[in-house]
Amino acid sequence: MSTALWVAIALAIIVILGTLRLVTPGSTRPLHRTALIALQALAALLLYFTLLPPQRSVDAGQLTVLTGNTALAGSTPPSAALIALPEAPTTPGATRAPDLATALRQHPGNTALVLVGDGLAARDRDTALPARTTLQAAPAPTGWVALQPPATTALGALFTVSARANGVANARAELLDPAGVVVDRAPLDAQGRVRLQGTARAAGRSEFTLRLLDAQQHAVDTVPVPLQTLAAPAPRLLVIAGAPGPELKYLRRWATDTGLEVQAQSSAGGGVMLGDAPVALTAARLAATDVLVLDERSLAALGAAQRSVVAQALRAGLGVVVRTTGPLNDSTRQALRSWGLPAGGGTRAVPLVLAADPEAALLQARRGPQRPASERTAYTDEADTASHGAAPPALERFEVNLPGSDALLHDAKGAAIGGWRSVGRGRIALLPVTDSYRLVLSGRDDRHAELWSGVLAQVARTLPGAPAVRLPTTPWSGERVTLCDVPDTTRVRDPAGHTVALQVDPATGAQRCAGYWPQQPGWHQLQRGENAQSFYVFDPDSAQPLHRQQLRDANAQRLSETRTATATATDQTPGPRWPWLLAFIAVAGLLWYLERKRANA
């Protein structure tokens, strides 16, 4: 119950007890007794309003707080108190405050808050805000405002960088390798988005650069793109085909040339198997395999026990790719559905046109040296250029509907080809391309390798040493970083070599999150025993538009969590107590006089 109710109950009990004392027969004259009872009730009422005076409406005080880029937000609104946070520029008449919480404590009478500029820094976003908090925002930044760096990448694999820019018309994006060589470029779409690709050619940690160019090819903004490349063991590949064919032949040749541990076999009918020694699909064999490649015929030939073993291995981390050599039948679709990949259609073949090659210079920069320098001659370089300069042929694919899946490939128009889904710790994929071998026959073995490398990279078992601790996408120096799934005794080493032990917050429960405050940008390393995991910390000064946009987004979310401001600029506050106190004293004095008069009578 509320305090007001408790006070009312206590005073009511006192009045009732006093009344019972006065109503005793013969205690006093009736008129005198009535006056005493009425004065007791009136005194109790006046005491109640003395302790809890009625609320009254008053003008709400407003506190104006200046944040970063205040000058871009227009004129500062009038306010009785003007506060400048550390990131705000020097402003005449503004009082400096180390943080928002200090400013609110120093001005307790203000119930309306106006933020001017980009908004609150990470330091202040946990501070409780008044109900009437508004933001007079600066214009959106010009440059890169969103970045999705690549995940940990295997050596030699393609990686993708996604980004979004704002405020630049007819813009183009370029991806530069650590040596400053452009490896990919593309125009931005209508929403300012772009996807660029590069090749991880060296194990370790490196920094690519994403550059934004305007219509006159002037650099508008650049951001670093951190890349961590693992020299992981070669994936172990098991290929089972329902019949021999060129698709299997060239897939096996590519896997062998790439250095994969591959075992392939196909059925020639009548129980005759071609290729490597026959393989039994047992739990132990699948546990020693990273990717299992089947076609629709070999999938349909699996017995119930074999499908169950594959399903268990899939949930345990195995990657499964089902490629099509012909239309999908009901048995194949049912098997895919039982493994967690519902598929519809797959009976109609249509042409597949792959995305065009990048410019010749970009293609060569992405590939890097194709041969050792000792083996390269003018003739071999010319042969490589002529072979890889041919346009890739149109392929054949089946139209398949894979609801809820991620795309395996994209065609020239950006449409999804095939798809994959996670099942437990593993992944299952369907590749509806029947004749990727034609890329090799037309001299485009590089595109054939790119196709299969991309497919297997998306479904293979998790790379050894892949990230275990969950990290934010773009952590910033000078701001708190939240790390989750943190094991005990984990330490962080910064670029200068200083180490800090992470303390898991017990309130985060099973998520096991810890806070870390990086003081300098660059590569940091999580260490636990012999295990290490690296993450990159961005510098707000070298990526100002990106940092400003994330600041704006975080403030918009924070303000949406605050209660909606009232329509009027008034607030409720307790009224003055002194009039009620004077009235109570007067009534209590009169009551005391009548009580003494009754006692002397």
Enumerate residue ranges in the chain where pLDDT < 50.
58, 370-386, 466, 564-570
pLDDT of residue 359: 57
pLDDT of residue 249: 92
pLDDT of residue 346: 84
Task: Answer whether 0.75 is exceeded by the pTM.
Answer: no
DSSP 95-162: EE-SSHHHHHHH-TTEEEEEEEES---TTTTTSPPPSEEEEEEPPPPSEEEEEE----EETT-EEEEE
| Tens digits of residue pLDDT in 533-577 | 899 999 999 999 999 999 999 998 888 877 544 434 445 567 788
Residue whose entry in the numeric block shows the structure tokens 């030939």: 301
| Tens digits of residue pLDDT in 313-351 | 999 999 999 999 889 888 889 999 999 999 988 888 999
H helix and E strand count, the chain: 14, 32
pLDDT of residue 80: 64
Q: Are 245 and 267 in contact (CB under 8 A)?
A: no
From the number of C-beta atoms within 10 Å of its C-beta (0-12, 13-18, 19+), residue 237 rates as buried
Supply the DSSP symbol for 517. Answer: -
**In 3D, which of 98, 154, 163 has the Cα closest to residue 124?**
98
**In 3D, which of 426, 424, 526, 427 has the Cα closest to residue 470?**
526
Whole-angstrom Cα distance, residue 462 to residue 186? 31
pLDDT of residue 28: 62
pLDDT of residue 565: 40
Q: Which residues contact 509 (CB under 8 A, 6 or more apart)?
A: none
pLDDT of residue 24: 65
Phi first, then psi, for residue 38 (nearest 5°) are -65, -40
For residue 146, the number of C-alpha atoms closer than 13 Å in the C-beta half-sphere is: 13
Q: Which amino acid is at 140?
A: A
What is the number of other CB atoms lying within 10 angstroms of the CB of residue 147?
21
